[in-house]
Structures are given as C-alpha cells and as structure tokens.
Structure 1
Amino acid sequence: MKKGLIVLILIVLSCTEEKNTRNNLIDYIPTNASAILMTDDLQLFFNDAKNNKLLNSLSENSLQGDLDKKLTSLKQIHPNGQSFISISEIGTKNFEYSIITRDHQNILKLDSVQKDSVKTIPYQDADIYLSKLKGTDFYYTTLDKNIFIGSSSQLLVENAIRNDGNEISDSEFLKLYEVSQKNSDAHFFLNHQRASSLISNVFPNHILKDIKQLGSWNSFDAVVTQNEIRLNGIAVSSDSLQHTLNIFKNTKPVSSSMAKIIPVESDYFLNATFSDYGQFSANAPLTYRERRSDSLFNSVTEIATVGLNESKVFILNTVDSNHLFQNLQKYIGEKTTFRAQNIYTLTEPALISQYFYPLVKDKNISYAAEIESYVIFSPDIKVLENIISNYQNNAVIENDPTFTDLMSNLADASSLLWVGNLDKLKTSGFIFNEDYRKVFSKVKTKAYKYAALQFIAETDYAHFNAIVKKKSAKAAVNMVSQVFSTKLNAPVLTPPQFVTNHRTKKKEVVAQDEQNNLYLIATDGKVLWKKELDGKIQGSIEQVDLYRNGRLQLAFVTTHSFYIIDRNGNDVNPFPIRFDNAITQPLAVFDYDGNKKYRFPIVQGNIISMYNKEAKKVNGFVFNKTSSPITALPKHLRIGNKDYLVFKEENGSLHILHRTGKNRINVKEKFDFSSNDIFEYNNTFATTGKSGELIQIDQNGKVTKTKLDLSENHVIDATSKTLVSLSENELTIKGNKAALDYGLYTAPKIFYLYDKIYVGITDTQANKVYLFDSNARLLPNFPIYGTSVADLNDIDNDKKIELTVKGEDDSVLVYRIN
C-alpha cells in the first residue's frame, strides 16, 4: 500500500521523530536510513491506515509521487512476524525503500506471469532476484539466518549482501531501538538530519532547518483508527550538537496558560515552557549566553510563537509582568493606544531573539504590549491589535471545545507544544512551501481541525506525543473571532456592509470614508479599490444585474448623484446622473416581476421620479408630487400576488400606489408617524406612531392600531412574520424581551440566515455590538467591539456567519461566528 509509511512520516507529523527494538534484523537496516518502520503485521498496519480517511486523502495528494509508486509493491509482500521498512536517499532526491524480515515460503504473492518473469542477478556469493510488483521493480534476496532483504533499489540489496549483517547503526538509534515496544502494531524511527531531505518538497527552508536542529532521532508507536492518528514515543539529541531539545535540559515543563490569549483564528502556535529561565538561558548556544546573563526575563515561564494571517506574534507569560515591563522601559519608544491597551515601539528589534534563541529567530520585532500576565511582541502592529481584539472578545482557543478535547489526549505540561489548524495550514506560507500548499489544499480536513505535537524534556531524552483526531460532536458554537481589521485612509463615514462578488459568489465589504472615498474590501481584508464620490452615500448600497448577465453592479445615491458602478469601481454608462436639487431619500430598487427590468425611484423633497436602467425617466409612472416632503424611502411591497409602491409624507399621509403611480389603496386617515419605515407585516402595511402604537393597514384600506407601550423615540424592524422593537433599554423580538444596559443604540436590524433569525443592535456610546436570536437571547460571547450598525452574512459560503462593523475611527472590522 502506497499510503502507510510515507504518509505518516511525511505529512501527519511534519517535524517529528521515532524509536525501535533489538534483534539481528536491525543489523541489515541501511546505515543512511532517513525513516524506519518496525511492525509485527505489515498488512494489518496498511489496512488500519487505509481505513483512516485523513491518511487516504493525504496519500492521494502526496508530492512524493515516485516513492509512493515504489511503495505500492509492499502490498504483495506478506511477512510472517516482525519486519523493518526503511527509506534511504540514494543520490540527490532519489529515495528508495528496503524491507528486512524473515523469509518464508509465501512471503511474495506472485501470480504465474510474475513468477515466469523473475530474473536472477548473481552478486558475490548470493543471487539477487528482480520481479515486477505492482508495475515497479523489486529486488530481493535471502541471506543466512533466513533473512529476507527486499528493496526498490538493486544497490541497497547489494550493500546488504556485501555487509552481511554488519551495518553500523549510530548510538542514538540503538538506544531508541532497545526501549521500543516490540509488540506494537507499528513503530517508527526518524532521523532529523536525513528526514529533512525526505520532506524537503513539503516544507520551506526555515522549517527544514528547524527539523534538523530539533534533535538526533525520534521514535514512536503509531495507532491508526478511523477517528484518529496517535503517536507516542521518545526523542533523543546529541550533547555534542546544538539541538533545540538540549535547551530544556535540567528544567521542568510547566502547565501552560497560553490558550487564554492565543486567538482561535491562529494558523498555528509553538509554545515552550520551563521552570527556570536561568537554566534555560544557561543551556543556550555559547554566542547567546553572555547577553542572557542579566535578570531581564527571569520571571518568564513560557513563550509562544503564534502564526496569524501570514505574520507572527511572540507571547511571554510571566509571574510578574509589571516588573518585566518596568525592566523593558529602556528598550521602549513611542506609545499608541488601541482599545484602551497601550502599544509601544521597541528600540531594539532583535531583543527577543537574543534572549530566546533558538525558539525565536526573528530580529525585526518592533512592537510590544502588556495584557494581564502576558507581554506580546510582533513585527506588525496590526497583528498585535488583532491579538488584543480577540482577547477582549474571548475568541481564544481555550474556549474552543475541539481544542480542549484534543489537548485532553496529551500531557498537561509540555516543554514544546506545536498545534496547527489544518484548514489554516492549507494557505499558510510559514509552514508549507508554495508547491505543497497547492497539494495540501486538496486534502480533506473538514472532519479534523487541529494536529498537535508535544515534547516533554527529561534529563537525557524527551517524551514525544502527537495526535490528529476527528472533531467531537460538541463543536465550537458561536465563538466570535476577528477575521480582519482594515484601515481606510480617513475615518469611516458609512457603516460597512456586505456585497456579493458575482465571480466567486463570496461576499466582500463596501464602506465609505469621510473624504467620500468608496472602498471595496476582499474577504482577506485587502482593499481591492477605492473610488472618490461627490458626497456621502445615503442609506444602503444596492446590487443590481443591469445587463441581466449575472454580473452585479453597485447602485446608490448621494445628495446630488445617482451612481451605478461595476465591481472594478468603474462608472456604468450612462451613470452617474447629476441632480441640481438635492436627493432627500436613499435609493430604492424595484424589480416588480423578478426579471431585472429595474425601476429606481428618486425622491427630491416632495417629488418622486422613476428612472430606468438607461437613466431615463419612466413615462408610464404618473405620480407627480406630494403636498409635503416624503419622509422615508419608497418601498416596493408584494402582498399575495399584488405589487404596491408605499411611502409616507411629513403631513401624516400614507400613499399606497400601483406600480404605474396610480392610487391603489385609498388611505383617508392621517397619522402621527414615528420615524420608522413602512413594512409588510402579517399581510398588512405596518409602521408605528409617535405614541408607540402599531399601525396596520390591510389591502382594503382598513386601519388597525395596537398599543405597544413604546416610548416616543422607539425604533423597529420587521419582516412578514417578525416584529422587533427597541424602546428605551428594552428590546422585544416576537414578544420576547431582553433588558439592555442604558446607552445610545442603533435601530435593531433583522437578519435571516440558514433558517435562523438574528437581530443585531449596537450601543454606539459603549462601542458594543449585540446579536440576539429570535427568542431575544444574547448569543454567546456577545457583545463584541464595534461602533456602527453591523451587517451579517456568510462571506465564504462555509455555513459560518460573519459580521462586519466599523471599529476604530478609520477601521472596518469583520468577525466570524463559529
């Protein structure tokens, strides 16, 4: 089976190592082996691997195509008892495998054609046989003591014959072999130096260097089931070399609290803990020890490197962060503030690498901040702000049940702990190289969220654990994490909203700044374009398919212009239309029959004019003007199979018109309207009066008023079956009530996504965004930070909901609700 060995070594455990046991079979393992599998039942191990969907998907998308093809021949080899499979590099980037086991009569499953095609190659005092197994060359021989040697390489078989059991294994491998479990289903050994070449087509150079420096050998048992891959073993490192594991000698791992601050949206993190920074420092390479001789970081017990949005942050956890920050003052420059947290510039960007090498090698760390017991460093202030935002929103991995379930399978304290988000790693440039990212993007990881590797240092070795496990049924619910924060060139003027990219079917964000620039922002936070307008956009931006070809345009009005622009920010001819007299209401878009023959009502005071997609007035619209100014944007409502054009005016009149502009329902009564719009609610035209009553008009013109006990300044939103109101600090959703803190709130806004009702509201005084369900229950982890009306949608069609809102004066935020 081509999947078992190479997949486990190559992919599941990017940076791992292995262990083994002892009998004379190991004397025939090639001395230059990069990786070795020991198993008592080879075919059973392959069968277990075959039943794990993640391994199958990984192997189907492997870059080691040539080696994978060679390994398929193992399907026809059936050892009776223990066997070793090793992978060796023969020439540059040419990997061959060997199998060493006991010979028996039916060890090879050859059909008659294969038996007839076996060739004999004499070599010294033995014969080498060449056969075709699964279409690949397979060389094998039997030596004294009934030793069966097989390989994809004739050279490796010749070496085994020539050395006749006198292969010389290094001492670290022999130690691991002696303590390995001989009765395990599968046991692996990995040589760090040589394995880096084996997996060089997967990882970039800096990761390969880290693998080489980690230690000498790793060994581990492998347990593969349908739901998980679990590895447990030992790692060793040479005292004569500057291996990373050596920096933990004579220190003890401590329980970590980094999960309290690491964002759930992180790509990966590497966390290191130590009971004694002084000893940790003394274990450092000689060139760094002198600089570390002071007590600057003596209070530090752990350090984490977090990969986030193609950047990094470095987090220290201390027993006395105030003392540490005071000692850091001589390295601190200017101060800025972000959400009441101070952020400082560092005058010595290489400071952290000098004190924490080889765990930190970056020498351009420019910013620092303090949050409770944590001190955070980053080369990118935006990423530092992201850490602060997610921490304040409780969007940290400690609150992710999938993460806590995974960690329950590992030891409580680690010297080194690496955790990667498999979906995030598909696009991360820090972990996988460009070629392998294309390959890994095809791997089916939906059922698996995290992979974890753990090293626990002892005096002369380190325990090693790793796990990749299916997500439990108790998945993370409604955790809110910041996806991106994008700064505009000036303060945000209009609330950001989602619009559809007709090419990708995903959502993007539009927002306008105080210099009247309109921005289109991609799902990754990148500004795609900005366009200067002649004024502030009124109301919301609408999307239309003007040419009925599936391509969407943005339609809106400013005080003196009616714009339609394409997704590249270009005006669509003959727009914009300029008006001398002010446009006094936002743009409404009418598509009466759903055939995209749009009508656009433009309101100027008490005059309403109807335009078509050619920017011409529609002659068939006969309504001229009202006796007082129109006080809300006209609405097109459909009740039953009839269309209505509805709007109200300042003197209390309500107009319900036919699409041609003729009167359709005669409403004689005048009302003391509130500032709320007209809605279709329960098959009526509904709004409220200033005294807080619900006003409803049916299709026969009958008026019904219902007392709701709302304050004069109440606000409402409604759909055909749902009424939401906010009066003072009381929010009512379908009759269910929620008491809010006193504040200055935006009008509630109803969203309907994936058969669920959500209601959003923002306290612009306290900068808090609230999101409720249809029962007026606040969603977990709300409120979150925001300063404007919020918009809600699924931006990437993954059934996870995103929210966009104005953040700081000049920033647009997007959050994900997991």
Structure 2
Amino acid sequence: MKKSLFLLILSIILSCTAEKKTRNNLIDYIPNNVSAVLMTSDLQLFINDTKNNDFINAISGDLLPQDLEEKLGSLKHIHPKTQAFVGVSEIGTKNFEYTIITREHENIIKLDSTKNDSIKTISYEGTNISSTSIDEQPIYYATLNNNVFIGSSSQLIIENAIRNEGTQTLDTEFLKLYEISQGNSQAHIFINHTKGSHLISHLFRKDIFNDIKHFGDWTSFDATLNQSEVVFNGITVSSDSLSNTLNAIKNTKPISSSMPKIIPIENDYFSASTFSDYKQFNSNATPTYKSKRTDSLFNSVTEVATIGINNSKIVILNSVDSNDLFQNLQKYIDEKTTFREKNIYSLTSTSLINDYFHPLVKGFEATYAAEIDNFIAFGGSIKILENLISNYQNNAVIENDPAFKDLKSNLADASSLLWVGNLNKLNDSELIYSEDFKKQISKAQIKGYKYCALQFIAETDYAHFNAILKKKSTKAAVNMISQVYSTKLNAPVLTNPQFVINHRSKQKEVIVQDEQNNLYLISADGNVLWKKELDGKIQGSVDQVDLYRNGRLQLAFVTTHSFYIIDRNGNDVSPYPLHFNNPVTQPLAIFDYDGNKKYRFPIVQGNIITMYNREGKKVNGFVFNKTTSNISDLPKHFRFGKKDYLVFKEENGTLHILHRTGKPRIKVKEKIDFSSNNIFDYENSFSTTTKGGDLLQITQNGKIRRESLALSDGNLIDATSKTLVTLSENELTIKGKKVELDYGLYTAPKIFYIYDKIYVSVTDTQANKVYLFDSNTDLLPNFPIYGTSAIDLNDINNDRKIEITVKGEDDSILVYRIN
C-alpha cells in the first residue's frame, strides 16, 4: 500500500525532532491482537480525570462491558512512576482482559496491609508470577527483563509475555501511529476498529456498530479530559480495503459545510460529508456501486448530509449549481405539490440516493424530494419535508444555536465528514443507541451537555480526527423556534387549537375541531389519539373540569344546540350531552365559587341564562330573570376579597353585576356604549373599553371611571389584575408601552403568564405571522413565525421549554418550541 504523503509527514516530524525517537521496548510487550491501548505519562492522574469528568462519571458502568469495567477498577491500586501502557484484549468472544506495562519500582502496587498475606507466587519458565485479589478482581503480575513490570487480569497474558519476552509482532499501522504520537501527552489512545469494535457493540444498533467497525483500521488520538469536556485529537488510518468508509472520501478536498443553515435544531443527529469533486468520490466507490452511477447526475454536488429526526431520516444535497442538479433529476420526478411556496416532488426511484452516495448514505429510501433554495432534500414522507421547510423558514436551524456554535469553535472549519449527535434527543431516538444502552443511559443524571461531535479531515491515505463533548456555556437563551410537529386533519381547521392537560402524564395535548365538526385530541408528539363528531361548531374555547373530584379531567364546551362533557378518551360523560331546542348563543362559562369543584354552568340562550350544576340539573336557587336585550358576551365570575360577582353585559348597554343567586349586587344605572371586548378584572375593578376607545372601570361601589386611551372603534384588549394590553389598528400597547406593527388583520391580543414571565401574542392573519412580545413590548428573538390563527402557549412536557400551538395551512395544526 502506497502512503507517500503519510510517510512524508512522518519523516518531517521525525527529522524536526531535536532528539530522534528510539522505539520504547515497553510496547514490545503489548499483546498481539490488542483491541485498544492507552499510553499515559501519569496513569493515576488520568484515572482521576475520568472520575472528575461529570459526563463520564454519570454514565460510568455503561460505556464498557460490565465485567471489563470491574476488572479495570483494580488499576487504581497500580502506581507507575513513569510512562505506562494499558491494553485491552479480547480473549474469547466478548471476554476482555487488560494488560498494564510500565517500569518496575518499589511499592508499584499499593495494597492494604491486610492484603499482603493474600499474595501468591508461582513460577513459569523461570519467572515468578505473583497474584492477588483487589476489589474481588484477580490481578497477576511479574517483572521481566529490562525492569519491565507487566500486570494483567489474565494469567494467560502474563504467561504469553514471559514466553515471548517482548518479541510479539505488532500491527504495522499501530507502530506507525505510535511513532508519530505525542509522547509528552498526558494520555494517548489507540483503537483498532475491527478488534476493538466489540468493546462498544453493546452501545449501538447493529447497523451503526457495523459502520464503526468498517470505518477504518486504527484511530489514534490525544485525550484531554476536564470536569466539563472531553476532547480527542488524532489520526485515523485505513488499509486499501474499499469497504472502509474512510476510503470513500480519500483524495477529496474538504470544504466548509453549509448544512447547518438547513439542519433543524430538533434533529437527533446528523452526518455531513463534503468533497470538492464528486467524480473523485465516485472513483473511490466499490465496483458494485460504481456500476450503478452511469451518468453525471450528481457531479455538481459538493455536500451530502443525513439527518436523523423523530426516528426518520432526511438526506440533503448541496450543489454548486442547484438548477442544473434539479434539471438532471427530472427523469426521476413524478407528481408535484407545493408547501409554503416550496415544491415537493414524488420520485420514481427510491434507491437513487443510496446508490449514488453509498457508503455515506446507507439503507435510505427516498420517495419525495423538495427544493429549498440551494438545497435539495429527500425524505420518506411529505410530512417530514414539510417540517424541514417550516424549520428552515423559521430559522430554527442549528447554525443559530449557541450550543452548536460553541461546539463548532473547537473543530476545524472544513471537514470531510462531520457527525454531530444531540444527546438530549438520542436517548429517545431508535436510530443510534441499542435498546439496552438507552435503558441504562436514561437513568443517568446528565445535565448541561447537548452536542457531541466527531470530525474527519481526509488526506491521501489517512484522516485527521477530532472529537468533542462539551458542556454548554452559560450563555443567555436565544429563544430559538423549532417546529415540534405538524398534524393534518381530515378537513380544514375550524377552531383555534389549544392545549389541554393529560391528567395521567401531566403533559399537554392539543384539542381542535375541523369544518366537518370532528373534534380531535392530539398527543404531545403529534399523533391523533381520537376523533369525535359533534353536532356543530364549538363556541369559544374548550375548558376542563374534574367532574368526579378524583383528579381525572374532562373536556367541557357548548355548540349551538348542545352542552358536552367528554372524558379524555372521547366518550360522553353521563348525563351529557344536554340538548337544547333554542340555540346557545354564548360560549360556556364555568364557575367554581369556592374551589371545591361544585361547578355551576351558566348556559346563555339569547336573553335567558339557565344555571346548571355538575349533575346536569337546573339550579333552582338561581333567580335571575331574562334580560331586556340579548346577552352580548359570556358571563364571568370575579371574586374581590370574600365577595363573589357574576358579571355580563347586554346588547343595549346594560351591565349586570349579580350575587351567586342571581340577585343584583351592584346596580349600574348608566347605559354604556361597550366595545366588543369582554369584562376583565383589572385593578380590582370591572374593566373593559368603549367603542370610543375609553378604558371603562366600574368600582365595587358602582362608580364609573373613564380614561381616554384614544383607541380605535374596533379596539381589542386583554387584561389581568395588573396588566392591560390593547390593540388599536396596528398599535399594540402593553402596560402603557407602545409598539407599532405592520398594517394587517390581527387577532385579539392574548396574555400568557408562565414561569413568572408575561408573554403577549397577536397574529396577523393576512400575512400569516405570529408575534410574541414580553411585558416590555420587546419582540422575542426569531419572531414572527408562520401561523394563521390565534395561538395557545404552554409547557407541554414540563421541561421548562415553552411550546406554541397554532393553525398552519388550512387543514393542519402546528406546534413550535421556544428553545
């Protein structure tokens, strides 16, 4: 095998050394067929660093086979004063033993005085082999010629070392890597990809394990460990075997990747490969795949990336001439659809990408392709490509993630192959880890780590290797927006989607109705749990009640002719629904006066209010008579101090403020020119606005206060006890602070209070833009985002990250996450 550039670099390194290296005969005692070797100048310091690294400490016992981990534990009692080698060998199938080689000195093994009597000695070919048990693990050791100390968990390895006395034939590639390794580094590790693969086979799925096994021959790297990061820098080499992945990218010039511009922040992992010349990549292919690449279809491609997301894969191509690439793809394209002005095509060949980009892409079936500016993305469903487009348009890509930027600063700008895993997502993904390892790592308390990265920069016959696992820096959150899911309904969306609580999991789910009057409950991961046909459109919002006072929540709402209460499985709760001949004209109000779940439900039918209890029976003690004109909004319940108030207004300008019983509590003599806004509890007053744009407040003494806010006739407001938000044409005011929006058609402002912070949202339904502000009228970063209705906002999975649900296209609802 010709490795001219590799040998040239080797000769330069050796010639520039003030004193040429001579082969350290300690390595002559490393067993044949070793799987991995640690070379360290201070073994106990290295062991201490691994213990103090919080990530390694959190998953200690899971990274290596358990029996090997227990055997290696005895190394803490061996204290070399000079350089030491620790090798791991597979003796029998998946039975691993370690060997330590260093210089003998007094008290190299430190035992408790009580252990000294337990040391046994046997003679083998004239050399004494001592043995003892440390932490219930046997250790065998001997001193050979040249004052070489050799210890092992296996007596057989010691006997082989005595018999061969340093004459083992070591792997040629290992010796070359040893010669160019930095002898003054605190820790240097050598891994044989084939023989060492069983060390990590329990961590990965079989296909991933095979990829690692056949990537190259050896990887050698310096290891730097501290409390919050693990950094590896070294070299990977490969033989001439065409099956090795490293050979697929040899002789290809690495370039800086553009893929972070399109890869969603919510990905599980991604691998991105760059090459300046696809023809060279193709010339490296095995005969099987070279025979399938019979044209110049992808000659303009400079990057290919595979993204794992939600247990599915996307492959993205970047090209120096995307128009030319797309034209070349025409013969594989069938039908076309559009999504947010981007074209999505069905493909006639599912193996196309796999055939042209193997081994960088494996086992991938492409049934659809999408044009996204300079990129062409391939996926197994239209939905996954729509999600990709949504995140791209919302700038919810890893290029904007500070944690990724921080990680990337430790890597080279250009790479031939870059693999990045999102540690938070891989635990749930089925694409990488084995099921056993997922169970183990899910128990570990790992905080602060988000990404890990592996980078390879190809040269002629080898590749520079970098790896980084780093705790996130304490930078301020940037409120990046990522689309969690998009779920299509069977018909156009009719009501604004909203979050409801799953009383079993304590997570939030989405409830929404379509134009065929079907009600849907959608899980936190976007799956439709059930669909139920109703007799009409839901008026207002869906509320939740605990009808049986046992912690189980039901959904309560009204349509034009019915009052429904249904359980979380979509079943009617007896005696509901209640049906009415006369139409219900206002949304359902729910009163729980004393917080004891003895609910009262006022049903409004024109100018009549009928009060029902939780058994669905009329409350005879409610004595209010019908109004003169129709009731113009839903009744509301307020409590000021120990007093309850039932409040609603009429179309003729009359305001009613009642006792629980329906008797008048405060008489408001004046007729008021109300706006369309509801009555709110603001500043301990009954507050709303007039059509003329005044803030109207009625005190508990019945006095009326007016304050001119100079609002437009169609003004919209929302309020809490201390916060007033108004929208007048395109001017939004929050606590007296104003912000001017683009002209458009806006939904009413909506206040959300979560984790001690106020958020205010409006949606421009003409421009399909959702705005989210804080209490200082500052627009949150990365807003506006796409949406076509008013939003709901909550933390759906209790991770203190906030999600938004909103109507998307006519028949879809979206859930976004603010990271």
Task: Tell me the SS of whatever aligns to 1:207.
Answer: helix
Matches within 5 A, 1:174-253: 174-253=175-254
- State the AA in 1 paired with 2:408: M
CA distance in 2, matches of 1:554, 1:140: 72
Letter of the 2:499 counterpart: F
Deviation, 1:124, is 3.0
- Whether 1:105 and 2:123 are equivalent positions in the alignment is no
Instruction: State how far apart, in whole Å, the 2-side matches of 1:241 and 1:22 are.
Output: 32
Deviation per CA, 1:755-806: give whole Å up to 9, x if none.
1111111111111111111122211111111111100011111111110001
**Is 1:337–2:338 an aligned residue pair?**
yes
Q: 1:363 to 1:263 in 2, by over 3 A?
A: closer
Contact preservation (8 Å) 2:177, 2:220 = yes
Q: In the TM superposition, what are the counterparts of 1:564-643 in structure 2 within 5 Å?
A: 564-643=565-644
CA distance in structure 2 between the partners assigned to 1:135 and 1:396 by the alignment: 51
SS at match of 2:637: strand
The corresponding residue for 2:680 is: 679
TM-superposed deviation, 1:291 = 3.2
Conserved in 2, the CA contact under 8 Å of 1:260 and 1:398?
yes
Does residue 1:522 correspond to 2:513, yes or no? no
Question: 1:62·1:439 contact (CA, 8 Å) conserved in 2?
Answer: no
Kindly provide the CA deviation profile for residues 595-642 of structure 1, in whole angstroms up to 9, marking residues without a partner as x. Answer: 211111111111111111111111221113111111101001122332
| Counterpart residue number, 1:266 | 267
Q: Structure 1 CA distance, aligned partners of 2:122 and 2:632?
A: 96
* One-letter amino acid of the structure 1 residue matched with residue 607 of structure 2: N
Match of 1:10 in 2: none
Report the Cα offset of residue 62 of structure 1. Answer: 4.6
Structure 1 residues 402-801: aligned runs within 5 Å:
402-801=403-802
SS of aligned partner of 1:694? strand
Residue 573 of structure 1: CA displacement?
2.0
1: CA distance, partners of 2:488 / 2:38: 52
| Counterpart contact for 1:654–1:667, Cα < 8 Å | yes
Query: Are 2:64 and 2:199, in contact at CA under 8 Å, matched by a contact in 1?
Result: no
Q: Note the 1:245-324 alignment, pairs <5 A.
A: 245-324=246-325
Distance 2:463 2:710 in 1: 69
CA distance in 1, matches of 2:241, 2:353: 26
Q: What SS does the aligned partner of 1:529 have?
A: strand
Matched residue SS, 2:316: strand
Deviation at 1:423, TM superposition (A): 0.5
Cα deviation, residue 63, structure 1: 6.4
Q: Where does structure 1 lack aligned partners over 5 or more consecutive residues?
A: 1-19
CA contact (8 A) 2:657 2:665 kept: yes
CA distance in 2, matches of 1:631, 1:717: 17
Deviation at 1:145, TM superposition (A): 1.7
**Which stretch shows the higher mean deviation, 566-575 or 489-498?**
566-575
Q: Secondary structure at the match of 2:79?
A: coil
Q: Find the counterpart in structure 2 of residue 32 from structure 1.
A: 33
In the TM superposition, residue 158 of structure 1 has moved relative to its aligned partner by: 2.2
Deviation at 1:164, TM superposition (A): 1.7
Partner AA of 2:372 in structure 1:
I
> What is the total number of aligned residue pairs between the two structures?
799
The amino acid of 1:723's aligned partner reads L
CA distance in 2, matches of 1:599, 1:28: 85
The aligned residue for residue 122 of structure 2 is 121
- CA separation of 1:443 and 1:22: change in aligned 2, threshold 3 A: farther
Aligned to 2:7: none
Which is worse superposed, 450-459 or 195-204? 195-204
Instruction: Name the structure 1 match of 2:8.
Output: none
1:234-269 deviations in Å (ceiling 9; x for gaps)? 000001342111122222100111111111111111
Shift of 1:463: 0.5
Work out the percentage of aligned pairs sharing the same amino acid: 71
CA distance in 1, matches of 2:664, 2:66: 74
Aligned equivalent of 2:17: none
Tell me if the contact between 1:43 and 1:75 (Cα under 8 Å) persists in the aligned partners: yes
Kept after mapping to 1: 8 A contact 2:724/2:734: yes
Q: Give the whole-Å Cα distance in 1 for the aligned partners of 2:38 and 2:748.
A: 64
Contact 1:63 1:436 in 2 (8 A): no
Q: CA shift at 1:693, angstroms?
A: 1.4
Structure 2 counterpart SS, 1:292? coil
Query: SS of 2:385's equivalent?
Result: helix
| 1:595 aligned partner, one-letter code | N
The 2-side partners of 1:316 and 1:506 are apart by 37
> Which of 267-276 and 512-521 deviates more?
512-521
3-state SS in 1 of match to 2:788: coil
The residue aligned with 1:7 is none
Return 5+ residue gaps in structure 2 as ranges. 1-20
- The one-letter code matched in structure 2 to 1:385 is E
Of the structure 1 ranges 450-459 and 360-369, higher mean CA displacement relative to structure 2 is found in 360-369
Contact 1:21 1:179 in 2 (8 A): no
Amino acid at match of 1:69: E
Amino acid at match of 1:288: Y
In the superposition, relative to structure 1, how do residues 517 and 22 fare at CA in structure 2: closer, same or farther (>3 Å)? farther
Counterpart mapping for 1:50-89 below 5 A: 50-62=51-63, 64-89=65-90
After superposition, the Cα gap between the structure-2 partners of 1:21 and 1:68, relative to the gap in structure 1 and judged at 3 Å, is farther
- Give the 3 Å change call, closer, same or farther, for CA 622–337 of structure 1 in structure 2: same
1:695, 1:363 → 2: CA distance? 64
CA distance, structure 2, for counterparts of residue 217 and residue 710 of structure 1? 73
C-alpha displacement of 1:220 = 0.5
**Structure 1 residue ranges, 4+ long, deviating more than 6 angstroms after superposition:** none
Partner of 2:366: 365
2:214 match: secondary structure = helix
- CA deviation after TM superposition for structure 1 residue 57, in Å: 0.2
User: Which is worse superposed, 366-375 or 146-155?
Assistant: 146-155
Kindly state the Cα deviation for residue 160 of structure 1 after the two structures are TM-superposed.
1.8
Q: Show the counterpart of 1:138.
A: 139
| Structure 2 counterpart of 1:466, one-letter code | A
Query: Deviations for 1:260-301, whole angstroms, at most 9, x for unmatched residues?
Result: 111111111101011111111111112222333522111111
Q: Secondary structure at the match of 1:178?
A: helix
* In 2: Cα distance, 1:804 partner to 1:363 partner: 32
**Aligned-partner SS, 1:187:** strand
**514-523 or 327-336, larger mean C-alpha shift:** 514-523
Which residue number in structure 2 is paired with residue 157 of structure 1?
A: 158
SS state of the match for residue 681, structure 2? strand
Kept in 2: contact 1:351–1:363 (CA 8 A): no
CA contact (8 A) 1:717 1:723 kept: yes
Verify the 8 A CA contact 2:585 2:606 in the aligned structure 1.
yes
* Residues in 1 aligned to 2:609 and 2:94: alpha-carbon distance in whole angstroms: 74
- CA deviation string 1:492-524 (max 9, x = no partner): 111111111122222111111222222211111
* RMSD, matched Cα: 1.5
Classify the secondary structure of the residue corresponding to 1:324.
helix
> How far 1:227 moved relative to its partner?
2.0
Q: Contact (CA 8 Å) 2:64, 2:200: kept in 1 or not?
A: no
Tell me, in whole angstroms, the C-alpha distance in 2 between the residues paired with 1:186 and 1:330: 54
Please give the per-residue CA displacement for 1:572-613, whole angstroms capped at 9, x wherever unaligned. 222221222211111111111112111111111111111111
Partner AA of 1:94 in structure 2: N
- Kept in 1: contact 2:61–2:69 (CA 8 A): no
Deviates more, 1:481-490 or 1:112-121: 112-121
Compared with structure 1, are the counterparts of its residues 599 and 60 closer, same or farther at alpha carbon in structure 2 (3 Å cutoff)? farther
Deviation at 1:660, TM superposition (A): 1.3
Q: Report SS of the residue matched to 1:652.
A: coil
- Conservation of the 8 A alpha-carbon contact between 2:242 and 2:286: no
Provide Cα deviations, 1:67-125, integer angstroms capped at 9, x if missing partner: 21111111111111111111122222222211111111111111233211122233333
Aligned counterparts of 2:640 and 2:155: Cα–Cα separation in 1: 81
- SS of the residue 1:355 aligns to: helix
Distance in 2 (alpha carbons) for counterparts of 1:263 and 1:229 = 25
Alpha carbons 1:58, 1:443 under 8 Å: kept: yes
